Structure 1
C-alpha cells in the first residue's frame, strides 16, 4: 500500500515528481510512494486506481511547478485530475503538502485559485530546488517520515544488529599501547590474559599473594606486580628484573 500520493501535472512538475518518487522509494520501498505513470499498470482503469490509492494514502504531496498556476482553466474543470485529487484529499482529511518545484516558484495566492482550491494557499509549503536537490529531497523525506510514523519504523526495520562477536571499547584512560581483540594469533609484546577465573592484576609495583583460607600471606617486592586469586589450572610464571625478596625472611 502506498503511504505517499504524489500529485503533479504532466508538463509542469512531472520531472520533480519523478525525483521525489525515486527518493522515497529508495528510502522506504518502491511501493510506498504512488506516482500515476509508474504505479498504474498498463490496461488498468486509472480513475479507480487513482482514487483507491489516494484514499488509502497518509499524505498527498502536491507538486507546484513554475507554470502550475497558469493552468487556471484546467484547475476550474471538474474533470481535471490534479484538481480532483487535491479536492478528494481535502474531503478525506488527508494532509496536503504543496511542494514548490524550483528556486523561483512562488507560493500560491488565494486570488489566483478557484474557490474550491483556495485552501492550498493557506498550507505550509516546502521547496525542492534542483540545484540543491540532494539536501531538499532528504529534508522532504524526513518530513514524510515524521508525518507517517510507520515509514520511520520501516526504514529502520532492516538495520543489522550488532555483531555478537564484535569488540567494544570499555577502557578508560590508557597510557602506552592497548590492544583489544576477540580472537588473535601471533606474538603480542605485552601481557595476555585469556579466560581467567577470579581477579587478575598485571602492572608495575609489588606482588601480593594472599590466601583466603590462611591467616597470613607473603609480600614480594620487585619489578612488576601480579595479584592472582581463585582457581588456576596450569603453570603460572612471572620473571622479574631483579632478585626476589620475601618479607618473612627479613623478620
Structure 2
C-alpha cells in the first residue's frame, strides 16, 4: 500500500511538472516572438504587393499572402503582440477588480458581502460573450476598448474565488493577532490576508489570459475588435473566411497560433494549480 501511495505521488508530481514545463515553454515561445517580432518578420505586415495576391506558401512567403499581397507570416508574427498584449492587460484589469471586491466581501461579510455577491450573481447571469458584444457595439472598435471591456466583464469568477479564500483565513490566529496590534482593516486585508490567497489568483490569471486571447480573436473576427490594417489573429481569420478554398492558409496559420497559445496558457494554469495544491497540502500536513 505504501509503495502504491509513493508511486501515485511521484506520478502526480511528474505529470504536474510536465504540464507546467510544457505550458511555460509554449508561453515563453510566443512571448519571444512578440518581443522580437521586427527581427523575426521578413516583411512589413502592412506592406502591400498587388503582384503577389493570394500567393500560396513558398520559400519567400512562408504562410502565403492575402488579398492585398501582404505576407501572412509577418502579420501572424505581429499579431502575436496584439493578442498577448490584449490578454495581459484585460486579465490585469479583471484580476484587480475581482481581488478588491473579493477581499472586501470576504473580510467584512454581512451586508457588504451580500451586496457585492448579489451584484456578482447578476453579472454572472449574462453570458460573458454576449455581454461583451452588447457593450462594445456602442463603442468604437479599438485595442483599448477591447482590453477594457474584456477586463471589466471578466472579474466575477476571481471575486468569488478570492472571497472564499479570504473567508477561510480571516479568522486564523495571525489575523487575530494583527487586529489585537491595532492594525487598520486596509493593512490587514492587503498585507496579511491578500498574500495568503494569491495562489489561486495566479492560476485564475493564467487561465484568464487564454480566455481573453480567444475573446479578442472572436471580436476581431466579427469586426468588433482590432481593425485592419493592424494585424490580429482574428482579423486575419476574417480575411480568410471568404477564401477558405482558394486561400486556405489565411485561416489555417492564425487558427493554429490561437489554438497553440490557448493550449499553452491552459497547460500552464493546470500545472500551476497542481504544484500549488501539492505545496498547500504539504504545509497543511506539517501544521
User: Normalization by structure 2: what TM-score?
Assistant: 0.20
Higher strand share: 1
Pick 1 or 2: higher relative contact order, CA cutoff 8 A, min separation 6: 2
Higher helix share: 2
